[in-house]
Amino acid sequence: MYRWWSLVVSLSKSALWIFAVGLGAGGLLASANRMLLGADEKPSASPTAPVVPATEAEPQQTLQPASQQQKVLRAGMIGLTTSHVIAFTNLINDPKATGPMAQVEVVAGFPGGVQDNPASWDRRPKYTEELRQKGIRIYDSIPEMLRDVDVVLLEEVDGRPHLEWAKPVIEAGKPLFIDKPLAGNLADCIEIFQLAKEKGVPCFSSSSLRFGWGLEEIREGRSRFGKVKKCIAWSPMSIEPHHPDLYWYGIHGVEILFTIMGPGCQTVTREGPEKVVGVWKDGRIGIFEARKGYGAYVEGDKESGEVGKYPGYKGLVEEICKFFLTGKPPVSMEETLEIYTFMSAADESKAQGGKPVQMEQVYQKALQQVQARRKK
């Protein structure tokens, strides 16, 4: 009936998941690090991946061939409102999958959906039915689904319910990947990561544009460009009225920008409806522009030019599965929060008629909102 159920053979879960948070440098990154880890606390090491137990209702099964036994982690998806749920499931559940993807199986889904957002609600029936046809069990609630999975992908296309839907996952101790946008506002982004850190639950969020096409090599100065002096990154920027302007789709271009530039942005200026300029602490300039397609132009100390072609989702999906197996996120909480602060600061600059905005001020304002509501 479901491929997974033939794989589990009364194993016992034996490992404790502990989340390792990467330490960053720079004003906002250091501030976020202090709030998430504590001033003197260091990130803890991640143990080996857990072994998955059989549920009480599962009968003892005959051992499958070694190639089938590799799939050890049961994954559940929350929010079946984006094409990502189909694309990611096809990659993970491919019988020919290799590496980390061969050790994870999508077995469950919760439809989710947000009624006042047609981009979410109108897609819900189609993608839910497509997953059901693939043999994925559809659940009526998140808590019910969590009983039968080991790891979770929060895929809901609308970021507003992410905080509330992440809470039971974190409380249950399930490693969590959150697709873009991380949340519907900066305060929710901060709180999700605070809760995950407090519970020791591995958690990360990223656009797929970060992985698979050499951007990290550019950032590290190991590409033909040499040391990065300036970067212009672009992506489409369709706007959804319930989210900050760049959260909905501009996140892709901003993720490209930060993957190449690294953290350390200090000021943000909205120079036009579709152009945002950031100044890094070392004086470098990073620019987001709304354009068709995905890409970046890099000015380096050796040469300048455009980066390669974006290859698709596989790089991200491989990183998600590796993360589920190791508990080690491929991008730190602090860097992700800086990305969302940059996008929030772009709206603040817009509201101020295009004046430069300090990233630290935007972050601290959102942090105070979190602290105030968590005291209640």
Query: What tens-digit pLDDT sequence spans the chain (376 residues)?
Result: 333 333 333 333 333 333 333 333 345 555 555 455 443 332 332 323 333 333 333 333 333 433 445 558 999 999 999 999 999 999 999 999 999 999 999 999 999 999 999 999 999 999 999 999 999 999 999 999 999 999 999 999 999 999 999 999 999 999 999 999 999 999 999 999 999 999 999 999 999 999 999 999 999 999 999 999 999 999 999 999 999 999 999 999 999 999 999 999 999 999 999 999 999 999 999 999 999 999 999 999 999 999 999 999 999 999 999 999 999 999 999 999 999 999 999 999 999 999 999 999 999 999 999 999 999 8
Alpha-carbon distances, residue 39 vs 267, 337, 339, 358 (angstroms): 24, 17, 22, 22
Name the residue among 166, 146, 48, 149 with its Cα closest to residue 106.
149
Note whether 313 and 91 are within 8 A (CB): yes
Map 179-237 to HEC letters: CCCCCCCHHHHHHHHHHHHHHCCCEEECCHHHCCCCHHHHHCCCCCCCCEEEEEEEECC
Bridge partners (DSSP) listed for residue 54 = none
Residue-wise pLDDT for 136-161, tens only, equals 999 999 999 999 999 999 999 999 99
DSSP string, 334-351: HHHHHHHHHHHHHHHHHH
Query: CA torsion angle for 217, 223, 227, 231 (degrees, to 10)?
Result: -80
Please give the single-letter amino acid code of residue 5.
Answer: W
The structure tokens listed for 282 are 């070392």
The DSSP H or E segment spanning 257 is: helix 251-261
First to last CA, the chain: 46
The per-residue pLDDT for 87 is 98
Please give the single-letter amino acid code of residue 47.
Answer: P
CA distance 306 to 260: 12
Delineate the domains of the chain, giving CATH numbers in brackets. Answer: 3-209+315-332 (3.40.50.720), 210-310+341-375 (3.30.360.10)
Instruction: Write the DSSP symbol of residue 76.
Output: E
Please give the single-letter amino acid code of residue 11.
Answer: L
CA distance 3 to 317: 20
The structure tokens listed for 305 are 């030019």
Name the residue among 242, 247, 233, 272 with its Cα closest to residue 186.
247
Name the residue among 141, 130, 304 with its Cα closest to residue 228.
304
CA distance 296 to 307: 6
CA distance 138 to 107: 9
Angle at Cα 296 formed by Cα 302 and Cα 257, nearest 5°? 100
CA distance 177 to 347: 26
Note whether 179 and 153 are within 8 A (CB): yes
Look at the chain and count its residues: 376
**Which pTM was predicted?**
0.83
Task: Encode burial over 24-60: b for 16+ CB neighbours within 10 A, e otherwise.
Answer: bebbbbbbbbebbbeeeeebeebeebbebebeeeeee
